[in-house]
Amino acid sequence: MPLATAEADAHSLVSAARDLIHIDDPQTAGLWPRAAALLGRQAIEAAMADLWRLSAPGLEDTSAKCQLLCLSHFLGDPDLAGRVHATWHGLTRSCHIQVYELAPTAAELEGWLETAWALADHVHRIRDRVASLSPI
């Protein structure tokens, strides 16, 4: 099953997730951590879908595991790829409600969202590089 099914800008998704973390509203108590986690995961998936469109069309139709394993090669940054892999799994676990697990903390989410933002930035730089190489 493909990861990203809808077009969305990764930076916008991360910004929306960060907004949820900083809103102090009793009506969203207990809801915002999982909503922010979902937006963070969608940001990673949107950035990877953009990367695959640029670098390896068709890869977006493979499993999440396959995409995450290929990430290091296409990013050219093994450290970032490893952080994205761990972050995607952390966010995925946080999206699934387990009665015996606490929702992620704001600090955990901030770290994960920082990684999602870094991936979006890296893919944006790749997009700019590809655009500068293509003939007009």
Per-residue pLDDT of the chain (136 residues; tens, 9 = 90+): 344 444 579 999 999 999 999 887 777 777 889 999 999 999 999 999 999 999 999 999 999 999 999 999 999 999 999 999 999 999 999 988 777 888 899 999 999 999 999 999 999 999 998 888 866 6
Other C-beta atoms closer than 10 Å to the C-beta of 74 total: 18
d(CA 74, CA 25): 41
